[in-house]
Amino acid sequence: MKRRAQTRPQRNPSAFPSQAARAQLVSIEKPVYGGAFLGRLEGKAVFVPLALPGEEVRARMVDEKRGYATAELEEIVAASPQRIAPACRHFGACGGCHYQQTNYATQLDFKQAILRETLERGGVRAPENINVLSAHPWNYRNRIRLAFDSEGNPGYRGRRSHAVVPIAECPIAAPLLVRAALAAADIARASRPALRIGELTLFCDADETALLADFVVAGGAKSTFEQFAQSLAEQIPQLRGAEFSTEGSDGRPPHKIAEWGANSLLYNAAGFDFRVDHGAFFQVNRWLVDDLVRCATAGLSGNLAWDLFAGVGLFARSLAQNFARVVAVESAAEAISALRHNLGGTSAAVVAASTLEFLRNARKQGRPDLVIPGFVSPDLILVDPPRTGLGAETTALLVEIAAPAFTYVSCDPATLARDLRALIAGGYAIESVTLADLFPQTFHLESVVRLKR
């Protein structure tokens, strides 16, 4: 039996200084990218998290600008029929999830509408049909990153503050990750003051048979780290390797000071065993990795494909089955070695450079063959950039190359729209748009756009 939906979300009385602000009645219209919902108050746009379209809510304004305001939900006066009880006890306070107050079908409707509106606001006409790629909406994450509070409790950052919200569960994560986090916290508390953990990143394979752990610590002796890792492995036998780093000063990245066990694990996806090292990027949804690869690469073949922002080779490895040659370009040091390993035995070549450096060199003096011996124009370019997207110069260089097929895997609809507008102006047309819901219960969305000249 479903629990009855709560009509008053939990509040943190100390979260905002303007507690005396009077809550006002707001009618909620639609979801917007970022996790909030748009309402209107005397003509001004008001963004209210945790609400739902069609609801009447009382919301307390917490930040007012000239054209809009952000608010906190105080009371649901008239609830949506799509409102349900959240599955996680931490929902609302924790900043990890945004949509647990409604069912999964409604979440997918939100994301399709947001993707379409974002594209069209960015000057890109979305196709009539946006495909949807989805799977089980719980326990999907193969990676989590936690912080620790002053008492040594692991948790996520709060929804409206930087404070740590301790967790006892996380229904969107693979259960192994939560067990490992809680076990690490117990062992670390027993080891104080010799060991104090600031942050922890955990990554497991799809079957939860292998685990990597990366700790950011406040100093300590190497023997302490080794003893801690061994104790953790006794409780979590799936642990294959651990790294310990100290927080970098002056904005520099953390500095590794110790390691234990293996520096990588094997992740079976799309028919291959991918080596993934500590800190390297890999797609987060363990239920959808195979389908995402098929969506981005199926039906494509030819002489040469470029995989830009290649990571550890998730797409390049599949492309190598259907292209005579593949060039995989990656700049992240933590991914290069694994990328070379994962593409071993194929016709793929690895270029250790940023995508922009690679493209600049590829057109240098009009002689791309100086950089890539035997260069010919690629039949396909596949890109999977970070949230910042491609940017103006990279997009312009890609338009110059004019590959007949182009696949864009995006994790941010706004930068996707910006880049697509430039690609379309340069002669490309959209063949298909697929919403790949790699992040259920959250506002984040992945999309795969296939284009042709």
Q: What percent of the chain has pLDDT over 90?
A: 84
Task: Give residue-wise pLDDT tens across range 42-92.
Answer: 889 999 999 999 999 999 999 988 889 999 999 999 999 999 999 999 999
Per the listing, tokens 């608010």 go with 71
Q: Give ∠ CA 451-271-279 in degrees, rounded to 5.
A: 80
Domains along the sequence of the chain with CATH: 1-85 (2.40.50.140), 143-266 (2.40.50.1070), 280-452 (3.40.50.150)
Q: Which residues have CB under 8 Å from 150's CB, separation 6+?
A: none
- In angstroms, the CA 92 to CA 158 distance is 9
- In the predicted model, what is the mean pLDDT of residues 164-172? 97
* Residue 122 in tokens: 């960015």
Residue 12: band (very low, low, confident or very high) from pLDDT cuts 50, 70, 90: very low
**What pLDDT, on the 0 to 100 scale, is given for residue 366?**
55
**What pLDDT, on the 0 to 100 scale, is given for residue 192?**
85
Task: Give residue-wise pLDDT tens across range 203-228.
Answer: 999 999 999 999 999 877 888 999 99
pLDDT higher than threshold 60 for residue 13: no
- In angstroms, the CA 144 to CA 174 distance is 9
How would you write the chain as a 3-class SS string? CCCCCCCCCCCCCCCCCCCCCCCEEEEEEEECCCCEEEEEECCEEEEEECCCCCCEEEEEEEEECCCEEEEEEEEEEECCCCECCCCCCCECCECCCCCCCECHHHHHHHHHHHHHHHHHHCCCCCCCCCEEECCCCCCCECEEEEEECCCCCEEEEECCCCCEEECCCCCCECHHHHHHHHHHHHHHHHHCCCCCEEEEEEEECCCCCCEEEEEEECCCCHHHHHHHHHHHHHHCCCEEEEEEEECCCCCCCCEEEEEEECCEEEEEECCEEEEEECCCCCCCECCCHHHHHHHHHCCCCEEEEEEECCCCCHHHHHHCCCEEEEEEEECCHHHHHHHHHHCCCCCEEEEECCHHHHHHHHCHHHCHHHCCCCCCCCCEEEECCCCCCCCHHHHHHHHHHCCCEEEEEECCHHHHHHHHHHHHHCCCEEEEEEEECCCCCCCCCEEEEEEEC
- In angstroms, the CA 72 to CA 437 distance is 27
**What pLDDT, on the 0 to 100 scale, is given for residue 375?**
54
**What pLDDT, on the 0 to 100 scale, is given for residue 4?**
36
Task: Give residue-wise pLDDT tens across range 254-312.
Answer: 789 999 999 999 999 999 999 999 999 999 999 999 999 999 999 999 999 999 999 99
- In angstroms, the CA 151 to CA 163 distance is 13
Task: Give residue-wise pLDDT tens across range 333-359.
Answer: 999 999 999 999 999 999 999 999 999
**What pLDDT, on the 0 to 100 scale, is given for residue 15?**
37
- In the predicted model, what is the mean pLDDT of residues 23-48? 95
Residue 319: band (very low, low, confident or very high) from pLDDT cuts 50, 70, 90: very high
Residue 361: band (very low, low, confident or very high) from pLDDT cuts 50, 70, 90: confident
- In the predicted model, what is the mean pLDDT of residues 329-336? 96
Range with the largest mean pLDDT of 2-11, 139-148, 371-380: 139-148
Maximum Cα–Cα distance for the chain, whole Å? 70
For the chain, give the mean pLDDT: 92
**What pLDDT, on the 0 to 100 scale, is given for residue 411?**
97
Task: Give residue-wise pLDDT tens across range 405-435.
Answer: 999 999 999 999 999 999 999 999 999 999 9
**What pLDDT, on the 0 to 100 scale, is given for residue 251?**
67
* Residue 200 in tokens: 């922890």
pLDDT higher than threshold 70 for residue 132: yes
- In the predicted model, what is the mean pLDDT of residues 155-170? 94
Q: What percent of the chain has pLDDT over 70?
A: 92
